[in-house]
Amino acid sequence: MDYFYSFYILVTEFNLFIIKNNPMSERRCKLCQSPYSGRRDKIFCSSGCKSDYHHQLRALSNKVASSTDKILHRNRSILFELLGDHENQRRIDRDALAKKNFRFEYMTGCYENEQGKRYYLVYDFAWIEFKTGEVLLLRRKKMEQ
């Protein structure tokens, strides 16, 4: 065995010793904190922990999102009620819309047309606010034609 090879083995063994005994390099499961080994990009000790983690994350996300979803759905219902099945647009006082508990700050999108008029979107409906205190309600499909 030549000197260089012996040195290489020594360095490799030393590195393995450092990795094994360094608490910083010990990998622990993101969910249960159990130590584990395996592929470098692995972050859970088992497929069960991975599944549980994503289930918990989704449940938490759904809980937080559901209150926002309720407001958005209520906004859409208000616009649908005001426009009915057939009307494609209607002007209404902003105050009248506010009295129906329409939440202007909740929308699913927003864009400006070429004239700089801002459209606020709630699913398949939209509204435009005017300085006069009026709001134009629009059915979105007709708007995009």
Interface residues toward Zn ion, by CB under 5 A:
29, 31-32, 34, 45, 49
> Locate tokens 């608490």: which residue?
23
Which is closer to Zn ion, CB of 53 or CB of 123? 53
Which is closer to Zn ion, CB of 32 or CB of 71? 32
CB of 47 to Zn ion, least distance (A): 10
Neighbouring C-beta atoms of residue 120, cutoff 10 Å: 19
Which is closer to Zn ion, CB of 32 or CB of 143? 32
CB of 64 to Zn ion, least distance (A): 24
CB of 22 to Zn ion, least distance (A): 21
How do 89-93 and 118-122 pair as beta strands? unpaired
- CA distances from residue 70 to 75, 76, 81, 102, 133 in whole angstroms, order as listed: 9, 10, 16, 12, 26
